[in-house]
Amino acid sequence: MAPDKTNAAPNLLKMNFDLVTIRVGETGHTVDFPVYRELLSSVSPYFRSVFEGGFKEADDRVISLVDVTEQTFRIFLQWAHAQAYRSGSGALIPDISVLPASVGTESGQAAQATDISALPNIPKAQRESLDQAFDQPHYQSQPRSNDTRAKMYYHDKTWQENYRMMLESYLNVFVFADQYTVHQLRDDILTAMVGQAHTWEWFPDLDEDLLTSAYDRLPNSAQFIRFLVLSTTYCWVADTDCVARTELLRQWNPDFAFEEEYASCFDEDLRSCAMHEHLVLDKDQCRERMKNKTHVFAELIDACAKDSVSMVQEQKKD
């Protein structure tokens, strides 16, 4: 199927500035967002149909999304506006310290975008041919040793709690994109998650609650679930043996266990295009986007990290 070209970012010099209102949240706790209609239509066939079709909402210019939180919609809006930015390549993936840890962080250290031409022990011709896309392991260097990261973050319960909630934030945005047909956002979330995982050198530990939530809110074929499958297959270091791990997965979710066992038979690429639907951009266009629009993915990571910290704080208040 040919990619859907309707996702093109609106041209501010030519676009229509008609406003519509998106009301998010449950009754009594709603928030109204005035949004450019053309911006919504450019990224979502659902919103285009609602506001440009023969529905009541097209006349009222108001639609209610009771199942969407304020913060999830804010993340979507930031992503939608970012489509029009003409930022170049090299946007930094937010540092691992963007998620708070109980032991604090070092001073004076920051991640750097990798200079591919300076990579050691790689012939010059091979260096020049390396894919510098956002989802590559060599896209960005790490300022800390693995031992330091493990001590300060990976083994820290506060950091783990924030990281777990960050995955929930990603899931919330993905569910929104799935419900309201924001095709490119689904692909972009996966690119952000893969790029973050490679740079932080930390793929998600399998979590029963997250897995249950994903299966409850998404179709089994959703590519977010595919990301969890591949992460588990290639990156989950279990304390149990293979048989015990498989049995645990079967107890949690038989469908997931089957997909994980099947995936383990193949050496699949852990680049995000292995999970993309490519309904808007084909694979070549997608790879170019990951080189030339890196700010889109970096901003998604930063937004979901901040959302996760807020959610953890709200839970502690309760």
List pLDDT tens digits, range 37-76: 999 999 999 999 999 888 888 889 999 999 999 999 999 9
Q: Are residues 293 and 165 in the same domain?
A: yes
Q: Are residues 15 and 62 in the same domain?
A: yes
Q: Are residues 51 and 187 in the same domain?
A: no
Condensed to tens digits (0 to 9), the pLDDT of residues 196-213 reads 999 998 888 778 899 999
pLDDT cut 70: percent of the chain above it = 82
- Where residue 126 falls among pLDDT bands split at 50, 70, 90? very low
Query: Nearest Cα to 100, choosing from 191, 172, 165?
Result: 165
- Where residue 87 falls among pLDDT bands split at 50, 70, 90? low
Q: Are residues 27 and 115 in the same domain?
A: no
- The CA distance from 275 to 223, in Å, is 6
- Where residue 228 falls among pLDDT bands split at 50, 70, 90? very high
> Is 75 a domain residue?
no
Q: Are residues 102 and 247 in the same domain?
A: yes
Q: What is the pTM of this model?
A: 0.86
Q: Are residues 32 and 153 in the same domain?
A: no
> Is 210 a domain residue?
yes
In this predicted structure, the answer to whether residue 108 has a pLDDT above a threshold of 50 is no
- The CA distance from 147 to 218, in Å, is 36
- Where residue 195 falls among pLDDT bands split at 50, 70, 90? very high
Q: Among residues 35, 67, 99, which one ends one of the domains? A: 67
Condensed to tens digits (0 to 9), the pLDDT of residues 162-184 reads 999 999 999 999 999 999 999 99
Condensed to tens digits (0 to 9), the pLDDT of residues 248-279 reads 888 888 888 888 877 777 766 678 999 999 99
Q: Count structural domains, the chain.
A: 2
Q: What is the pLDDT of residue 49?
A: 94
Q: Of residues 281 and 242, which shows the higher confidence score?
A: 281
The string of DSSP codes covering 225-243 is HHHHHHHHHHH---SS-HH
> Is 8 a domain residue?
yes
Domain of 135, in residue numbers: 89-317
The string of DSSP codes covering 150-164 is IIIIIT-HHHHHHHH
In this predicted structure, the answer to whether residue 27 has a pLDDT above a threshold of 80 is yes
Q: What is the pLDDT of residue 241?
A: 66
Q: What is the pLDDT of residue 110?
A: 37
Q: Are residues 44 and 170 in the same domain?
A: no
Degrees to nearest 5, angle at CA 171 with 169 and 175: 120
Q: What is the mean pLDDT of residues 154-158?
A: 91
> Is 81 a domain residue?
no
Q: Which residues contact 263 (CB under 8 A, 6 or more apart)?
A: 229, 230, 233
In this predicted structure, the answer to whether residue 280 has a pLDDT above a threshold of 80 is yes
Q: What is the pLDDT of residue 128?
A: 45
Q: What is the mean pLDDT of residues 132-151?
A: 82
Average pLDDT, the chain: 83
Q: What is the pLDDT of residue 149?
A: 86
> Is 313 a domain residue?
yes
Most confidently modeled range among 4-8, 196-200, 214-218: 214-218
> How is residue 128 annotated by DSSP?
H
User: Helix, strand or coil for residue 31?
Assistant: strand
Most confidently modeled range among 14-23, 29-38, 230-239: 29-38
